A and B are shown apart, each in its own frame.
Chain A
Amino acid sequence: MDCRKVRELIPLVSGGDSETADVEFVKNHIASCSTCNKLYQKYIADRQALNSLNSFTLSDSIEERLKAISNSVIANRTTSERKKKVTPFAVRIVRVLTGTALILIALLALVFYLGGQKPPKQEKAPEGIVERIEYNRMIKRAIENATLDEKEKVTPAEREKCRVLDSADTSSFDF
């Protein structure tokens, strides 16, 4: 019964990957069981055989290729880092110029649009009404300026005002 359990534990115990209790259990058992001890020694020998690979030396050609790989990877990385440093600056310049050009185009378009617009058409009133409006304005101004002295009536316009005032029908005016 113990041998079965010990045989299960030996692979890990032999490699130092077991709990202390298991190590004690196995070592106590193999001290008195030659079969299990033999199995334990085989697993120890397996570990030593695997450890022999540690002393293996790679050939010069492999070492040279590894060195070449290392150098080329680093060289490529350095080149791509340089490109990364240049590219963002160039991209920024291009973006600024593109943005400026778009703004200018937009402003020019606005200027042309606004410049091309015509003022709204003023509707002409019928001729008879225009003359009547002007006549009434003239009369109104003349009446409002009715306190002018004789001396100031020097211009033809002033004289015309007085003449019109004398002949005007003032009943309809609202002062």
Chain B
Amino acid sequence: MSSEIVVEPQELEKRLIERFRSGDSSAMETLFEKYSKRLFWVAFNILQNREDALDAVQETFVKILNAIDRFDTSRRFYTWACQIMINLCVDKKRRSLKARSVVSLEDIGTQPLQQAAPEHLVTQEEKRKRVFTVMGKMAEAYRTVIILREVEGLGCKEIGEMLATTHATVRWRLHRARIMFRKIWEKEFPEEI
């Protein structure tokens, strides 16, 4: 009977970071590969632009490498990386003079059809597009908290750390974001009321 040593994800990340600090650059490749898609997804939802989201991910990676020596390994790596990226996205948004353009999920790829019932998949696909449309019409601060809570599944305390704000503020924003989401959905897709 083979005995497998189960390592907690956070412990694994800690070891990867220690390896990178010792000079093994492949360790950071592993971490980046693990989180790049999630980071891109969050950036895309905040910035609503594919190229800006890719730039944000690149800048985030650069900042991570520059600050990795100061990173407290007792924290979750993804929380820290997401915090850096959200700050970058907020700065980008402020600096950007471009008017908000209409973007769609097709810009970054769609779910391929699988073995499930086609009607169900079309519904799912349509639902995703609607969600994306509604989120595009929300204010950035509310869109950010709702992405982090509902899509990323982070807790209010973690979101508060990321956004450098209190747990209470995050709850309040979440409350407002959900109400806003409902109102915009009812306005955009009244047939579903």
Contacts and interface: CB of A to CB of B under 8 A. Distances in A.
> Do A and B interact?
yes
Interface of A: 11-12, 14-15, 17, 42-43, 46-47, 49-63, 65-67, 69-74, 77-78
B65 A77 contact: yes
B61 A50 contact: no
6 contacts: A12-B174, A52-B127, A67-B33, A70-B29, A74-B28, A74-B29
Given A15-B174, A58-B109, A73-B32, 20 more contacts: A11-B182, A12-B171, A12-B178, A14-B178, A17-B171, A50-B146, A50-B151, A50-B181, A52-B128, A53-B131, A53-B151, A57-B110, A58-B108, A60-B109, A66-B36, A66-B54, A73-B61, A74-B25, A74-B29, A77-B25
A56 B126 CA distance: 12
A1 B134 CA distance: 31
A51 B150 contact: yes
B179 interface: yes
A70 B41 contact: no
B131 A62 contact: no
Interface of B: 25, 28-29, 32-33, 36-37, 40-41, 45, 50, 54, 57-58, 61-62, 65, 105, 108-112, 124, 127-128, 130-132, 146, 149-151, 156, 171, 174-175, 178-179, 181-182, 185
B99 to A, nearest CB: 24
A120 B181 CA distance: 100
Contacts of A59: 108-110
A43 B178 contact: yes
A54 B130 CA distance: 14
A17 B174 contact: yes
